[in-house]
Amino acid sequence: MKNRVDDYASGAPEEPVRLTEISDLSGLIDLGELTELANAKMPFGKYAGRFLVDLPETYVLWFKGKGYPEGKLGEQFRAIEEIKTNGLEYLLHPLIRR
């Protein structure tokens, strides 16, 4: 029997992810931090004002090669790199406050 975990392991699920399903992971993930990451914006440069999750993966990887900034922004970049590398951006999009 296939379940939602199988969907996540194989990439984007066929059905949209509902916020209630994300909150069910609260024991594993701090939903507040995840929401903050989803709403983090690039503070400078060519992509200033764009959500980090919406930055091109090539730009994130270029930044990795140059060295991530210190502090919280660097931590957010590391998380975004991991999310993008594994094709998990769709998990953050429902959390964005537009």
* Cβ–Cβ < 8 Å for 31, 94: no
Name the residue among 63, 74, 4 with its Cα closest to residue 91: 4
Tens of pLDDT along the chain (98 residues)? 444 444 445 555 566 555 555 555 555 567 889 999 999 999 999 999 999 999 999 999 998 999 999 999 999 999 999 999 999 999 999 999 97
Q: In the chain, where are the structural domains located? A: 4-95
Name the residue among 15, 26, 34 with its Cα closest to residue 6: 15
- pLDDT tens digits along 27-49: 556 788 999 999 999 999 999 99
pTM over 0.85? The answer is no
The backbone region for 10, taken as left when phi is positive above 0, alpha when psi lies in -120 to 50, beta otherwise, is: alpha
